[in-house]
Amino acid sequence: MNRQKSFQNEEAPALYLVPTPIGNRFEVSERTLAVLNGVDVIACEDTRNSGQLLKSLGISKPLISHHEFNAASSVPGIIQLLDQGKKVAIISDAGYPLISDPGAMLVQEVIKEDYPVISISGPNAALDALVASGLSTQHYLYYGFLDSKPSKRKKELQSLKAFPWTLIFYEAPHRIQETLEDILEELGDRKICLARELTKLHEEYLRGTVSEILAVCEGLKGEMVLVVEGNTEKSTVTLEEVTQKAMQLASEGLKPKQAAAAACEGSDFSKNEVYAEMMKRK
């Protein structure tokens, strides 16, 4: 398990994830300016683009290029900077890094190396927690609060079980233990990140499996976000079974393509594969 107390040692090397304005540069916060001014190096998608923004904000720092196509070489370079005790910020051309922008591999590697990954706020707890969670940011579902009644909460979790994308929940501290117990029971011992008190003095990220976080969550206080890995299990349904289901739906009146699309849901087969199989049997 990786337990990160973000502000325990502010001198220590760390990776800061810094959103930049999606349009109006006056939306930059004082903290964003302080962090960008406080790091040793800024990694950016496009050094020319970011250079202009940083210049307009009065920030002058060494820039390094980090984007989708050089990640394999730039990530080890950034880890080396952290090894040398440096602080690094990552920004994208606009908005949050990692949200349809570079940074995912970097965050995972930095967490593996046990350096803090600290999200600087845009004013939304879900996104702050997601980008620093170490879990996939490619597709995600923001769910918000689960129901406070255990029976309804379990039903909600059952309905999310097959969902392959990262799930984001908000939770109150007095319910965190029972919610984690329900997640363990309904979704299994998945990877999760519990992010609490984001951007505040006691900010903490707990990254591990549900059971690992459950073992230490008693007494945790403050505002919390739970980021939960999506379903990674491979479907065990065969092409034959999916095709049979599609043929059945077609015999009940659905058009063949619609039947193929409905039948393939949740399986590893595409509607085209199922449709082609149906056509062979006509």
Site string for ligand SAM, 118-157 (x = CB under 6 A): ------xxx-------------------------------
Tokens of 76: 């080890």
**DSSP secondary structure, 165-177, as one string:** SEEEEEE-GGGHH
CB nearer ligand SAM, residue 194 or residue 250 = 194
- Alpha-carbon distance of 236 to 230, in angstroms, equals 17
- Alpha-carbon distance of 43 to 16, in angstroms, equals 10
Q: Does 101 bind ligand SAM (CB under 6 A)?
A: no
Tokens of 222: 């403050």
- How many helices (H) and strands (E) would you count in the chain? 11, 11
Tokens of 69: 């196509």
- Alpha-carbon distance of 247 to 232, in angstroms, equals 28
Place of tokens 């999916």: 242
In angstroms, give the least distance from the CB of 203 to ligand SAM.
7
Torsion, Cα 189 190 196 199, to 10 degrees, reads 160
Tokens of 173: 């501290």
From candidates 111, 131, 176, 198, binder to ligand SAM by CB under 6 A:
198
In angstroms, give the least distance from the CB of 21 to ligand SAM.
17
Only one of the segments 53-61, 72-80, 151-159, 166-174 lies at the binding site for ligand SAM (rule: CB under 6 A); that segment is 166-174
Give all strands (DSSP E) within 67-116, no chain letters.
88-91
Compute how many residues bind ligand SAM; rule: CB under 6 A.
15
Site string for ligand SAM, 11-50 (x = CB under 6 A): ----------------------------------------
In angstroms, give the least distance from the CB of 78 to ligand SAM.
26
From candidates 66, 87, 191, 196, binder to ligand SAM by CB under 6 A:
196
CB nearer ligand SAM, residue 197 or residue 277 = 197
CB nearer ligand SAM, residue 99 or residue 239 = 99
Residues making contact with ligand SAM (CB under 6 A):
124-126, 170-172, 195-200, 223-225
